[in-house]
Amino acid sequence: MPLPRARPENGSSDRPQRTILIVEDVAVIRATLAEFLRDADYRVLEAVNAAEAKAVLDSGTPVDLVFSDVRMPGEESGVDLALWTRQQHPGAAVLLVSGFADTAGGRALPADIPVLRKPYILGTVLQRIRLLLREVGSGTS
């Protein structure tokens, strides 16, 4: 299966490289997203669940955006992770992915957390991420 490619952003060499942390427990989805975003010139870190994501964020590794599914194995949902990230690592933007039937454990999605609805195409992921990272500004945490 060929992994889809993205084109690097124009002028990407003029800007510091941004770091995206992908939180996704389905390996093939995670690998596809990661390679796509690496091809778009992002530094991409991978986590399979909230615990790994928190370990990465707490390690001091600078992360500009956390891209997480709402559904996650274990007790914590992507919403829990998003709220935790907002509190502990406010410099990181958050983008959640949600399916129509996802309830995040019965928890309503807070209105102010950016959400990408499934099904999505990779181009849309890139668009949303670019938008969020520009809004965050210089990316200082």
Partner 1 sequence: MPITSPGGAAQRSSAAILLLEDNVLVRMPLGEYLRDCGYRVLEATTFAEAEALLRAGIRVDLVFTKVRLAGGRNGFTLANWLRRNHPGIKVLLAASVAHAAEKAGDLCASGPTPSPEHHGTVLRRIQQLLHQARRTGGGSGKDNVA
Q: Which residues bind partner 1 (CB under 8 A)?
A: 1-5, 26-28, 30-31, 34-35, 38, 43, 45-48, 52, 54-56, 58-61
CB of 69 to partner 1, least distance (A): 15
- Asked if 21 and 45 touch (Cβ cutoff 8 Å), the reply is yes
Question: What DSSP designation does 18 have?
Answer: P
Q: Is the dihedral of CA 9, 52, 62, 67 positive or negative?
A: positive
Give the nearer residue to partner 1 in terms of CB position, either 88 or 103.
88
Distance, CA of 98 to CA of 36 (rounded, Å): 19
Give the nearer residue to partner 1 in terms of CB position, either 54 or 128.
54
Give the nearer residue to partner 1 in terms of CB position, either 4 or 110.
4
CB of 73 to partner 1, least distance (A): 11
Give the nearer residue to partner 1 in terms of CB position, either 10 or 59.
59
Rg (alpha carbons) of the chain, rounded to whole number: 14
Distance, CA of 121 to CA of 125 (rounded, Å): 7
Distance, CA of 128 to CA of 132 (rounded, Å): 6
CB of 1 to partner 1, least distance (A): 4
CB of 107 to partner 1, least distance (A): 24
